[in-house]
């Protein structure tokens, strides 16, 4: 109870600090140059850090895909060493996905009620970093499954925590680009993972350890080291940071209150929670993110497998996974910039979904031995699949029923990643390798086109809501983001 009381006192102090000065006394609120200078200042303090930490988050989650095929020619890959079958590998991925989905919303609740974001995110990083290191000494399949479950539980609260911070600091039209900058680091994680896997493959046998063990050691040490400094460098509430002065702190909060878009410390009503969880339009948001992340989960875990199936040896295959992820990063940033520049989400996501769908469909229609053409399709998929994610996340937080439920909407949205990962794990069947994995390609193709269709539907629905001047759940007039 003491912890809850102290956290509540910190929240109350923030609210009191904001309300102690009348808004009309702040001359910066309608000063465009002052707002740009403030956003630039926040960007430099928050964005590189969040993006790098999410890169580590994604890297430590998906590195098992690299470990699966690393040095398989010499029998030193992870599957052979620990006696894991292809189905056993899928089970290990599924266990993480289940834990990720189960602990997402509870982790968001803990952060809101008990602990500040910098300390909470650092704690999560420390836990999954230590668990990642544990993979360097696994000797059997059971240990792999247990470690994957607890990594999923620890990582579940990380991305909603980052989205929460972005909601605290940025306006609606500013979020997609920032979320994209963070999410795009997942693409960079894939590129780094491939490069680290390439290097670790050459360490096979050093100190009597297989290459995949060195892969986990390198990545685990980096994560643990970063976790120890995060609480001291990550920004907290706007009024608590020392690098903003009085008027700047007030502006950081008032510019969000002007849109009713910032994170609220007040407890949400039962009606607000219900509307956030099960209202039809919010369910469509969650479903669109589910179909989108089914594709991302497939790419995260099976890109090394797919590239190996295109005729490359395991160490080289890890290196050949770098271009698709690097291209995905560039397109993610470009699409997010355009999305924020025109303050539009639906059409951007629909276009990206269509591109990814065409890439998967073309690959499915090509002969399994058309290696370079199918690799080109993988590059095309990367141009559409990765950029679709960040506008979807920014969209759901911008159109949450209430500022009090922004964090809840982000957590539920992210919880669908767990369910999507379960689907993505089982559609890439090892017995279809010689046929080019048709099931995985067709399912991902359908998911891409469904994402596009749902996004178009939401876009036109919000346009209709704006034309009819639909108010939010609390009766407040607002402009719904398209």
**Which carries the bigger pLDDT value, residue 93 or residue 133?**
133
- Is 135 contained in some domain? yes
Backbone angles phi, psi at 426, to 5 degrees: -95, -5
* H helices present in 228-345, as ranges: 230-233, 246-257, 270-278, 280-308, 314-320, 322-341
- Is 4 contained in some domain? no
- Is 9 contained in some domain? no
DSSP code for 83: T
- Lowest pLDDT segment from 19-23, 71-75, 138-142, 402-406: 19-23
C-beta atoms surrounding 231 within 10 Å: 16
Helix (H, G, I), strand (E, B) or coil at 40: helix
For 307-363, the pLDDT digits (tens) are 766 656 656 666 677 788 888 888 888 888 888 788 888 999 999 999 999 999 998
Question: What local confidence, expressed as pLDDT, does residue 281 receive?
Answer: 92
Q: Percentage of the chain with pLDDT > 70?
A: 87
For 385-443, the pLDDT digits (tens) are 888 888 898 888 888 887 778 778 877 887 788 788 888 888 888 788 788 889 999 99
Residue 53 has pLDDT above 50, yes or no: yes
Query: In the predicted model, what is the mean pLDDT of the chain?
Result: 82
Tokens for 368, please give them.
């399994």
Backbone angles phi, psi at 441, to 5 degrees: -65, -45
Question: 428, 394, 398: which is closest to 414 by C-alpha?
Answer: 394
Most confident of 52-61, 220-229, 413-422: 220-229
Number of domains in the chain: 1
Residue 182 has pLDDT above 90, yes or no: no
Residue 107 has pLDDT above 50, yes or no: yes
- Is 219 contained in some domain? yes
* H helices present in 366-437, as ranges: 371-398, 406-426
What number of residues does the chain have? 482
| CATH code of residue 193 | 1.20.1250.20
Range of the domain at 155: 43-234+269-467
- Is 241 contained in some domain? no
Q: What is the pTM of this model?
A: 0.74
- Is 14 contained in some domain? no
Mean pLDDT of 104-131: 85
- Is 367 contained in some domain? yes
Q: Percentage of the chain with pLDDT > 90?
A: 22
- Is 201 contained in some domain? yes
């Amino acid at each position: 109870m003491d912890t809850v009381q102290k956290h509540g006192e910190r929240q109350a102090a923030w609210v009191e600090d904001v309300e102690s000065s009348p808004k009309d006394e702040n001359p910066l609120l309608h000063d465009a140059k002052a707002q740009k200078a403030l956003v630039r200042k926040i960007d430099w303090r928050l964005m590189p850090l969040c993006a790098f930490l999410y890169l580590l988050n994604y890297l430590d989650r998906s590195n098992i895909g690299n470990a699966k095929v690393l040095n398989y020619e010499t029998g030193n890959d992870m599957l052979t060493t620990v006696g894991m079958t292809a189905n056993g590998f899928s089970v290990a991925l599924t266990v993480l996905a289940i834990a990720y989905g189960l602990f997402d919303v509870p982790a968001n609740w803990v952060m809101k009620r008990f602990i500040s974001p910098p300390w909470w995110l650092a704690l999560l990083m420390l836990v999954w970093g230590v668990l990642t290191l544990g993979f360097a000494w696994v000797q059997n399949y059971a240990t792999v499954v247990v470690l994957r479950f607890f990594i999923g539980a620890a990582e579940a609260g990380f991305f909603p925590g980052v989205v929460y911070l972005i909601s605290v600091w940025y306006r609606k039209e500013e979020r997609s680009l920032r979320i994209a900058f963070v999410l795009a680091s997942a693409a960079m994680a894939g590129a780094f993972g491939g490069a680290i896997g390439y290097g670790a493959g050459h360490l096979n046998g050093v100190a009597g350890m297989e290459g995949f063990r060195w892969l986990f050691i390198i990545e685990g040490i980096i994560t643990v080291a970063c976790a120890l400094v995060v609480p001291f460098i990550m920004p907290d509430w706007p009024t608590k940071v020392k690098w903003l002065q009085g008027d700047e702190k007030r502006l950081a909060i008032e510019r969000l209150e002007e849109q009713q878009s910032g994170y609220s410390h007040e407890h949400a009503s039962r009606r607000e929670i219900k509307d956030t969880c099960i209202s039809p339009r919010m369910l469509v948001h969650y479903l669109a993110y589910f179909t989108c992340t089914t594709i991302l989960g497939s790419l995260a875990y099976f890109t090394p497998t797919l590239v190996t199936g295109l005729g490359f040896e395991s160490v080289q295959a890890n290196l050949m996974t770098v271009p698709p992820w690097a291209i995905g990063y560039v397109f993610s940033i470009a699409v997010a910039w355009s999305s924020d520049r025109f303050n539009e989400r639906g059409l951007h996501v629909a276009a990206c979904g269509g591109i990814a769908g065409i890439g998967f469909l073309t690959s499915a229609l090509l002969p399994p031995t058309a290696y370079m053409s199918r690799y080109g399709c993988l590059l095309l998929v990367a141009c559409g699949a990765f950029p679709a994610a960040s506008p979807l996340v920014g969209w759901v937080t911008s159109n949450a029923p209430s500022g009090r439920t922004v964090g809840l909407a982000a957590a539920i949205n992210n919880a669908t990643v767990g369910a999507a990962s379960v689907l993505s794990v089982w559609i890439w069947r090892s017995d279809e390798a010689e046929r080019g994995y048709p099931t995985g390609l067709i399912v991902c193709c359908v998911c891409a086109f469904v994402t596009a269709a749902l996004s178009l539907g939401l876009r036109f629905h919000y346009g209709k809501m704006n034309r009819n001047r639909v108010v939010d759940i609390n009766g407040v007039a607002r402009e719904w983001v398209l």
